[in-house]
Amino acid sequence: MADFHDFAAQWDRLFNAGDLSKLETLYASGASVIPAGGAPAKGPSEIGKFFAGVRSNGLTRHEIAVKSLAERGDTVVATGTWALSGANSAGEAQAFGGNWVNVLGREGDAWKILLHTWN
């Protein structure tokens, strides 16, 4: 999946712009987001709400770095690092980061995220 770097950049653009309805379209109907230490969000609508909650906490700048891809037919496992930053309600800078894993599956001509998790 040579175009995954573009896919990751699109994810960042949509999140950073707050366009969560379009961000939801990157996820398969049965997708799961499993945040580190948090409850899973299942399906595009719940996933959009999860990320809306992240943005509502002032975390509005996200950046993905893709480190590896393993493609097996219609499935791709992508890994890398992420950084998330913004300001809290008191205007204080906050920043987080770590490693992430995405499992993607092909739906027609498009790739959709099946599983998204991080630490």
The pLDDT value recorded for residue 2 is 59
Q: So where are the chain's domains?
A: 4-118
pTM: 0.94
What CA–CA distance (Å, rounded) separates 89 from 51? 17
* Digit-coded pLDDT (tens) for 66-93: 999 999 999 999 999 999 999 999 999 9
Beta carbons of 111 and 7 less than 8 angstroms apart: yes
Pick the CATH number of 4-118 from 3.40.50.2000, 3.10.450.50, 3.90.1150.10, 3.40.50.1370: 3.10.450.50
pLDDT for residue 3:
79
- pLDDT averaged over the chain? 95
pLDDT under 70: residue ranges of the chain? 1-2
Report the C-alpha gap between 38 and 41 in whole angstroms: 9
pLDDT reported for residue 41:
98
CA 44 to each of CA 40, 51, 72, 87: distance values in angstroms, whole numbers, following the listed order = 12, 11, 24, 26
As a whole-number percent, the residues of the chain with pLDDT over 70 amount to: 98
